[in-house]
């Protein structure tokens, strides 16, 4: 592993001025207007491996991996060289109609090789949301080509996250992401329950819970009408919805129901692919089902370049590309198959192969999960869950009843602030701290994450007690 040899001179930055400029002009994704107005944002200025540095030079272990994406770690010379080389050679070429470029064609072939089964065709876009949007439009195109003009309805799950374009946000089902100030597609998108056993009705066995979730999907298809339901969109592990790993058998069970009713299965692997669960893709290798479409982004380039991929089956391709219809697939972007992004993805995959990062995750993932579980003895830790290098700690006011803290406490943020001050970044989502560290993480860094989280939670417990909330 070779990281940047150029140390950053932090004295060049005026943190207060950056913060002011940011506040005045940059509208952040998920900006909370009141909080930004009061506190501003933390400017990150440099990164190396699993560490990031703010503009004052403070170092943090980034246990979030950027945003589930810095899989091979940041600051790699080799990535910088591959990107620079492609920029020098050819920074851009149109992918439209009848032109292509070498990195895009090579990457599409590589993804077809790595993806399971007959997922042999790839549409490239700019990130996860556009990969989902592409799947959505591809499904419309496919159903129309088959003469099934009514088969356009989508089923997804409460708490799922699929991106923030109009369609992908409408497919997503996180209540907190659907404030009334925005509009959504509502007439053709349906949400069923989240398979989160921790929040199941008390006394219900996991087997009965699973059965109920599967029945719910089948009932929804029958209620909307199998001739109307086009596709089921699902993350194999809910990410932003709280790192929820469905009960064993859920994936296979939902897939079988989809097969039964001619419903396409779109596996949103924007987070779970490219090593996060120790495999290139999780659908088949971890959860034993063969999707019709896999959407990927994030770890595909480890965040070095924006890129999304919609990898779909020969079954779909054979229908849409049937000759003699004069069809044109009027979808895609100026930057579909961007040569620099594709060159970055190819180098990223090469590094993951050469450094055997997938077997490394298969080793370190269980250690990470086991160490995090040791936090379960703490008074406000209700659940510790995850798989591979995705994890989350759920905080509760009362462990026995699983009662949540009032949202106004923002308990996840309270604890993540404590962690920040100790050099650790975890992601607060309401009552959760979510983690997805770079795949290069080692046992010592895992130990640091766990001991720092322990200290941060205990500091928060002290505060809560002092203020009479516990």
Ligand X SMILES: Cc1ncc(COP(=O)(O)O)c(C=O)c1O
Q: Which is nearer to ligand X, 192 or 240 (CB)?
A: 240
| Listed residue (371, 50, 59, 8) closest to 42, CA to CA | 59
Task: Give residues 142-181 in contact with ligand X (rule: CB under 6 A).
Answer: 161-163
Q: Which is nearer to ligand X, 235 or 292 (CB)?
A: 235
Q: Can residue 365 be called a binding residue for ligand X (CB under 6 A)?
A: no
CB of 362 to ligand X, least distance (A): 22
Sequence-ordered alpha helix ranges (H) in 242-356: 250-260, 283-287, 314-320, 339-354
CB of 29 to ligand X, least distance (A): 8
DSSP string, 120-185: EEEEEESSHHHHHHHHHHHHHHHHHHTT-TT--EEEEETT----SSHHHHHH---GGG--TTS---
Q: Can residue 235 be called a binding residue for ligand X (CB under 6 A)?
A: yes
Q: Which is nearer to ligand X, 200 or 295 (CB)?
A: 295
DSSP three-state, residue 468: coil
Q: Which is nearer to ligand X, 238 or 368 (CB)?
A: 238
CB of 163 to ligand X, least distance (A): 4
Q: Which is nearer to ligand X, 162 or 220 (CB)?
A: 162
Q: Which residue has the tokens 């510790």?
A: 384
Cα separation, 70 vs 49, whole angstroms: 9
Cα separation, 326 vs 329, whole angstroms: 10
Q: Can residue 242 be called a binding residue for ligand X (CB under 6 A)?
A: no
CB of 270 to ligand X, least distance (A): 4
| Listed residue (301, 312, 306) closest to 129, CA to CA | 306
CB of 168 to ligand X, least distance (A): 6
- Residue from 70, 125, 129, 416 in contact with ligand X (CB under 6 A): 129
CB of 82 to ligand X, least distance (A): 21
Cα separation, 161 vs 177, whole angstroms: 9
Q: Count H helices and E strands in the chain, helices first.
A: 15, 15
Query: Could you give the string, one character per residue 18-57, with x where binding to ligand X holds by CB under 6 A and - elsewhere?
Result: ----------------------------------------
Cα separation, 344 vs 70, whole angstroms: 13
Number of Cβ within 10 Å of residue 88's Cβ equals 8
CB of 224 to ligand X, least distance (A): 23
CB of 161 to ligand X, least distance (A): 5
Distances (CA, A) of 148 to 52, 155, 259: 50, 17, 16
Query: Could you give the string, one character per residue 50-79, with x where binding to ligand X holds by CB under 6 A and - elsewhere?
Result: -----------------x------------
Cα separation, 96 vs 93, whole angstroms: 9
Q: Can residue 291 be called a binding residue for ligand X (CB under 6 A)?
A: no
Cα separation, 125 vs 336, whole angstroms: 5
Q: Which is nearer to ligand X, 281 or 405 (CB)?
A: 281
Q: Which is nearer to ligand X, 386 or 448 (CB)?
A: 386
Q: Which is nearer to ligand X, 13 or 333 (CB)?
A: 333
Q: Can residue 268 be called a binding residue for ligand X (CB under 6 A)?
A: yes
Number of Cβ within 10 Å of residue 51's Cβ equals 19
Stretch that binds ligand X, among 128-136, 286-294, 341-349, 380-388 (CB under 6 A): 128-136
Contact 255, 290 (CB under 8 A): yes
Distances (CA, A) of 7 to 57, 58, 117, 292: 11, 13, 45, 46
| Listed residue (74, 64, 65) closest to 427, CA to CA | 64
Cα separation, 282 vs 398, whole angstroms: 34
H or E segment to which residue 461 belongs: helix 443-466
Task: Give residues 397-456 in contact with ligand X (rule: CB under 6 A).
Answer: none
Size, binding site for ligand X by CB under 6 A: 15
CB of 67 to ligand X, least distance (A): 6
- Residue from 240, 342, 389, 419 in contact with ligand X (CB under 6 A): 240
Task: Give residues 100-119 in contact with ligand X (rule: CB under 6 A).
Answer: none
Q: Can residue 271 be called a binding residue for ligand X (CB under 6 A)?
A: yes
CB of 313 to ligand X, least distance (A): 20
- Residue from 243, 277, 297, 340 in contact with ligand X (CB under 6 A): 297
Q: Can residue 200 be called a binding residue for ligand X (CB under 6 A)?
A: no
Q: Which is nearer to ligand X, 65 or 405 (CB)?
A: 65
CB of 166 to ligand X, least distance (A): 13
Contact 393, 384 (CB under 8 A): yes
CB of 129 to ligand X, least distance (A): 3
Q: Can residue 128 be called a binding residue for ligand X (CB under 6 A)?
A: yes
Q: Which is nearer to ligand X, 73 or 127 (CB)?
A: 127
Interface ranges with ligand X (CB under 6 A): 67, 127-129, 132, 161-163, 235, 239-240, 268, 270-271, 297
């Amino acid at each position: 592993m070779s990281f940047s040899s150029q140390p950053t001179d932090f004295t060049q930055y005026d943190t207060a001025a950056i913060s002011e400029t940011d506040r005045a002009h940059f509208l952040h994704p998920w900006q909370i207007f009141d909080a930004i107005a009061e506190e501003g944002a933390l400017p990150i200025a440099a990164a190396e491996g699993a560490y990031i540095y703010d503009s004052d030079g403070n170092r943090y272990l980034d246990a979030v991996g950027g945003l589930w994406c810095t899989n091979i770690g940041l600051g790699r010379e080799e990535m910088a060289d591959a990107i620079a080389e492609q920029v020098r050679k050819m920074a851009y070429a149109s992918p439209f109609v009848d032109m292509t470029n070498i990195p895009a064609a090579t990457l599409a072939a590589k993804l077809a090789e790595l993806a399971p089964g007959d997922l042999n065709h790839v549409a490239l876009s700019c990130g996860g949301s556009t990969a989902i949007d592409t799947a959505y439009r591809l499904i419309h195109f496919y159903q129309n080509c088959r003469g099934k003009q009514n088969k356009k309805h989508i089923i997804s799950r409460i708490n799922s996250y699929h991106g923030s374009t109009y369609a992908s946000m409408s497919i997503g089902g996180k209540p907190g992401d659907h404030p009334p100030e925005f509009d959504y597609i509502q007439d053709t998108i349906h949400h069923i329950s989240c398979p989160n056993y921790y929040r199941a009705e008390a006394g219900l066995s996991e087997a009965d819970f699973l059965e109920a979730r599967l029945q719910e999907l089948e009932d929804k298809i029958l209620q909307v009408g199998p001739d109307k339901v086009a596709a089921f969109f699902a993350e194999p592990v809910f990410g932003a919805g709280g790192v929820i790993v469905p009960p064993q058998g859920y994936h296979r069970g939902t897939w079988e129901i989809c097969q039964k009713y001619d419903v396409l299965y779109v596996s949103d692997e924007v987070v779970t692919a490219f090593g996060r669960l120790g495999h290139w893709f999780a659908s088949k290798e971890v959860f034993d089902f063969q999707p019709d479409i896999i959407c990927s982004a994030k770890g595909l380039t480890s965040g070095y370049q924006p890129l999304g991929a919609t990898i779909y089956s020969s079954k779909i391709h054979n229908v849409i590309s049937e000759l003699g219809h004069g069809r044109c697939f009027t979808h895609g972007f100026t930057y579909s198959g961007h040569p620099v992004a594709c060159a970055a993805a190819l180098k990223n995959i090469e590094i993951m192969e050469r450094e055997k990062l997938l077997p490394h995750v298969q080793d370190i993932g269980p250690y990470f999960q086991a160490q995090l579980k040791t936090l379960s003895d703490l008074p406000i830790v209700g659940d510790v869950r995850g798989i591979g290098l995705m994890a989350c700690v759920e905080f509760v006011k009362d462990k026995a009843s699983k009662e949540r803290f009032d949202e106004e406490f923002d308990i996840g943020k309270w604890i993540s602030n404590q962690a920040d001050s100790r050099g650790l970044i975890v992601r607060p989502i309401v009552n959760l701290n979510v983690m997805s560290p770079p795949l290069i993480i080692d046992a010592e860094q895992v130990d640091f994450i766990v001991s720092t989280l322990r200290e941060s939670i205990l500091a928060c417990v002290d505060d809560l007690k002092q203020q009479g909330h516990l």
